[in-house]
Amino acid sequence: MTQTNILLEAGTNELEIVEFYLCEQEENLSSYKGYYGVNVAKVLEIIRLPKVTALPEVRHKAVLGAFNLRSQIIPLVDLALWLNKTRAQDDTPKVIVTEFNNVTTAFMVSGVNRIHRISWEEVDPPNAYVTTLTHNTITGVVKMEGRIIFLLDLERIVQDLNPQLGMRLDEAIDWTAGDRYRAIVADDSTVIREMLKDLMQKANFEVEAFTNGRDAWDRLEDLKKKASSEQKPVHAYVQCLISDIEMPQMDGLNLCKRVKEDPALQALPVLLFSSLITDRLRHKGAVVGADEQISKPEVTSLAQKAIAQIKARGWT
């Protein structure tokens, strides 16, 4: 199974997910299937388990080694081990090869079911109990055909396995020398959202952070009404919007499309900050009018481009 084209029109608030499963063995030796999903846009292909070569001094037992795929060396992560689950041994594993954050990583799973096309409105954010129980590795929950599919935060997994891929702000830059700015940030990952909020605050931004595009849009609507009642421009209250793409309820592409189609908001700089900013997917952000598209984890570039967009509008 090879992923070559994303057929969805940009900004429709739809996504396609690859549903896969892990055959998990319980203490009484019985087994059951746990169902999970990943955005098709992150999947390069799905293959049989290749020959794997062990890697020296790996940080986590879930990293089984690496394999050669068309002259590219790709690390392989056992997803069951990462989730602290015991895999039942009576299955034929499959390998999902992914690309995001400009990094290629493969994940071993028990099997793959099919691709589902759904609306982000059908994706519920995990409740506090699920979030705590799964250590912030679940970003969304989909109820489908009598079962629950958990959308995994693969970025969190890759970042934990390789901390060098984490977000860092260039401390050689004097961020406090200029004006202070106001930004709305939307990201469904609790870890990334809090980290991004902290780093943008250090870059001289006042930040309001939201867990999905719907909440960010509602806040922009409130600010638009406030600006109208006080006879001020919207940029008196917020100077830029920074949004992830993958989010429950409303994704970043649909959020951006709404902003750019609203006469009172369309001047607001929209910066898409996502693991899905790749050469083959960049056109989607362009179609909905994004002012900038920055791949995670380049937060220094994000802050610099946000400031440049604000200054270009003369809002300082």
Tens-place pLDDT, residues 30-72: 778 889 999 998 999 999 999 999 988 777 888 999 999 999 9
Condensed to tens digits (0 to 9), the pLDDT of residues 251-310 reads 999 999 999 999 999 999 999 999 888 777 788 899 999 999 998 888 899 999 999 999
Least confident piece of the model among 72-76, 138-142, 229-233: 138-142
Band the pLDDT of 168: cuts 50, 70, 90.
Answer: confident
Write down the pLDDT at residue 4.
Answer: 39
Is pLDDT at 108 greater than 90 in this prediction? yes
pLDDT score of 5: 44
Q: Which domains does the chain have, with CATH numbers?
A: 14-163 (2.40.50.180), 166-312 (3.40.50.2300)
For the cut 90, the answer to whether the pLDDT of residue 84 exceeds it is no
Model-level pTM greater than 0.85? no
* Strand order across the beta sheet in which 138-144 lies: 111-119, 14-25, 31-39, 147-152, 138-144
Question: What distance in Å separates the CA atoms of residue 177 and residue 219, rounded to the nearest whole number?
Answer: 29
Residues 202/231, Cβ–Cβ less than 8 Å:
no
Contact between residue 222 and residue 251 where contact means Cβ atoms under 8 Å apart = no
**In whole numbers, what is the pLDDT of the chain averaged over residues?**
87
pLDDT of 3 > 50? The answer is no
Structure tokens at 104: 């290629």
